[in-house]
Amino acid sequence: QLEDIVGKEVVEETLDAGFALDFFDDEALAETGSIEPGCLKLGSGKYRIVILPNVRRIPPETLGKFAEFADAGGFLVATRRLPAEAPGFLAAETQTEEVRALSKRLFEEAGAKGHFIRDEKSDLASALVSFLQPRRCIFRRSIPTGFRTQADA
């Protein structure tokens, strides 16, 4: 299930920070994705923040496109773990090494343009708001909701 991979926290914390979210796959990125200053354009949508939630395996071409995005001023965030392997049993060691090298450059080296958030529950929402102000205000789930009743209703 997607929730098992992505996790509930990344969705909840992104929404709590005031941002909407979309999901897309490698194929959609390859077919319609392009980089503009500060954003990833995917079809008619433009995205200034891309989150890699708990991603361990990623094609080097996809991570390369995300590197272009970060280099162009977009905010690239990895949560819980850093991408470290190419997908598939037959992934060549060179592809996995390419993923590791890109991941290191993006998230670990001095001057890295990517952002690593280990704990989504405590750190993701505040990090997202520090990168970019959301366009809309979405109230946190913790605000109690009350219901009125009328005696004659």
Provide the pLDDT for residue 24: 92
Residue 38 falls inside a structural domain = yes
Provide the pLDDT for residue 119: 93
As a whole number, the mean pLDDT across the chain is 88
Provide the pLDDT for residue 6: 81
**pLDDT confidence band for 133 (50 / 70 / 90):** confident
Residue 121 lies in domain: 2-131
Tell me the H-state helices in 7-59.
8-16, 26-32
Whole-model pTM: value is: 0.84
Residue 140 has pLDDT above 70, yes or no: no
Residue 150 falls inside a structural domain = no
Residue 148 has pLDDT above 60, yes or no: no
Cα separation of 83 and 26, whole Å?
14
Residue 143 falls inside a structural domain = no
The whole-number average pLDDT for the span 5-17 is 87
Q: In what order do the strands lie in the sheet with 49-53?
A: 49-53, 75-79, 114-117
The whole-number average pLDDT for the span 6-18 is 89
Cα separation of 85 and 57, whole Å?
5
Residue 138 falls inside a structural domain = no
Residue 122 falls inside a structural domain = yes
Residue 152 falls inside a structural domain = no
Total structural domains in the chain?
1
Task: Classify residue 130 by burial, with Cβ atoms within 10 Å: 0-12, 13-18, 19+.
Answer: exposed
Residue 11 falls inside a structural domain = yes
CB 71 within 8 A of CB 106: no
